[in-house]
Structure 1
Amino acid sequence: MERSSNRTVVVTGFGPFGEHTINASWVAVQELQKLGLGAEVDLYVYEIPVEYQKVLDLIPSLWKHHNPQLFIHVGVSGMATTVTLEKCGHNQGYQGLDNRCYCPDTHCCIQGGPDCLESIVDMDVVCNKITDPQLDVVISVSKDAGRYLCDFTYYTSLHLSHGRSAFIHVPPLGKPYTAEQLGRALQTIIGAMLDVLERSTAKMNCQMEH
């Protein structure tokens, strides 16, 4: 059987927690799955439980299994009113309890790791690239993913992928966007991320050849 020459993208959303009995992030990812990312991209989606240990188990497992071009995580933020592209993940400051009332004793993701890791995808460029007038959502960029499971997942993923990860925060459903709007936004944003990543990789290869 021939191996697909398509690019592979893995996208995760989170399961329920706290007041978010229906997590908008997973709903949005399921909408994205319906839409797809085009014929040249193999898309795989997964729901991640809001548990620190599950993150530490699942993220390396998914990375090893798929070795994706880009590993994207989507989370919900009760404070968000925009679809937010997160620039970086943080290693320390985790004190919130997860669904199992657990928090790492060290309050960090990777002991001895850098305080902050940034995505190799330039989120400002991605944000500026998205000019689709039919995309009726506001997109913004942030440097603080919140020091809870979203930030924890992002840092863990960035550490494993050497920066080939991204994180997108969405608002709760209906505040103000529908599931369909969020799904279309994810489709457009991830398409732009892949384009930016491809261009930056091509530029690096060109510089290396010269």
Structure 2
Amino acid sequence: MTVVVSGFEPFGGDETNPSWDTAQALAARADELVGQDVVAVRLPVTFDGAWPVLADAIREHAPTVVVALGLAGGSRGVRLERIAIDVVDARIPDNAGAAPVDQPVVDGGPAAYWSGLPLKGALAALRAEGIPAEVSNTAGTYVCNATFYQLMHHARSVPGMRAGFVHVPAVDVLPVDTQVRAVATVVRAALSGEPEPVIAAGAEA
């Protein structure tokens, strides 16, 4: 079985992006942490470019699991994204200068897609390791959400592939080594195929 883990290039004036640093480091330690091959894919922070790069990697490697990573700078832990929505509403321009507002990710697509990852199983495993994590009910409306939506739009036609999106925090919240362990935990949960535990992880607002 092969796993694809993607991360993004830096954006917004930052010199690095921990999502890519984490994906790269996990691929280098895949035998130790996952027990399967992990392919790391670096995505551009552009609405037009991110999904084609990830789609090419999926076609090339035919992965069993795909975990797309992105940076959520204000987060206090790992965010397991539950839902992708069919809207782009850019607060800042992407790295190509595009800033679409109130546009669909996929014309005529459904309003939303659920993650295909075992979110509650991953949450339980992350908590057991003492890694701060939550199930998030919004992946935003920027390139992360657009990539997540396109990934799930594609995954519906690939039987057996488990895919989804995880936001990681800044490195001053969780160092990259901890982020690597966290994402490895998510990947192992996805590979296991075990039934989801019943764990309350909702939000009041």
The TM-score range, normalised by the shorter chain, is 0.7 to 0.9
Paired with 1:179 and 1:121, the residues of 2 have a C-alpha distance of 22
Q: 2:25 aligns with which of 13, 25, 31?
A: 31
Q: Unaligned regions of 5+ residues in structure 2, if any?
A: 196-205
Q: Could you tell me which of 143, 146, 155 is aligned with 1:149?
A: 143
Q: Give distance in 2, aligned partners of 1:165 and 1:88.
A: 12
Contact preservation (8 Å) 1:87, 1:119: yes
TM-score, normalising length from structure 2?
Answer: 0.84
Deviation at 1:105, TM superposition (A): 7.1
Q: CA deviation at 1:94?
A: 2.5
Which protein shows a greater Rg?
1
Alignment of 1:1-210 (within 5 A): 7-37=1-31, 40-96=35-91, 97-104=93-100, 107-132=103-128, 135-162=129-156, 164-174=162-172, 176-195=173-192, 198-199=193-194
**Per-residue deviation at 1:104?**
4.6
Deviates more, 1:28-37 or 1:143-152: 28-37
The separation in 2 between residues aligned to 1:166 and 1:187, in whole angstroms, is 14
Partner SS, residue 167 of structure 1: strand
Aligned-partner Cα distance in 2 for 1:161–1:89: 13
Q: Which moved more, 1:84-93 or 1:147-156?
A: 84-93
SS of equivalent residue, structure 1 residue 43: strand
Q: Secondary structure at the match of 1:137?
A: coil
4+ residue runs of structure 1 moved beyond 3 angstroms? 37-40, 103-106, 129-132
Q: Cα–Cα, structure 1 residues 105 and 86, in superposed 2: closer, same or farther, change >3 Å?
A: closer
Amino acid at match of 2:24: Q
Q: Partners in 2 of 1:90 and 1:130 — Cα distance?
A: 25
User: Between the two proteins, what is the percent identity of the paired residues?
Assistant: 26
Contact 1:90 1:115 (C-alpha < 8 Å) held by counterparts: yes
1:4 is matched with which residue? none
Larger helix fraction of residues: 1
Secondary structure of 2:80's counterpart equals: strand
For residues 34-84 of structure 1, what are the alpha-carbon distances to aligned partners after superposition, in whole Å with 9 as ceiling and x for unaligned? 321557522100110101111232132122112211111111111111111
Query: In the alignment, is the contact (CA less than 8 A) between 2:89 and 2:100 conserved in 1?
Result: yes
Alpha-carbon shift at residue 31 of structure 1 (Å)? 2.0
Query: What SS is found at the alignment partner of 2:67?
Result: strand
2:26, 2:38 within 8 Å by CA — same for their partners in 1? no
Q: In structure 1, what residue type is equivalent to 2:5?
A: V
Count, aligned residues? 189
Preserved CA contact (<8 Å) 1:117 1:158: yes
- In the alignment, the residues of structure 1 paired with residue 79 and residue 12 of structure 2 have an alpha-carbon distance, to the nearest angstrom, of 21
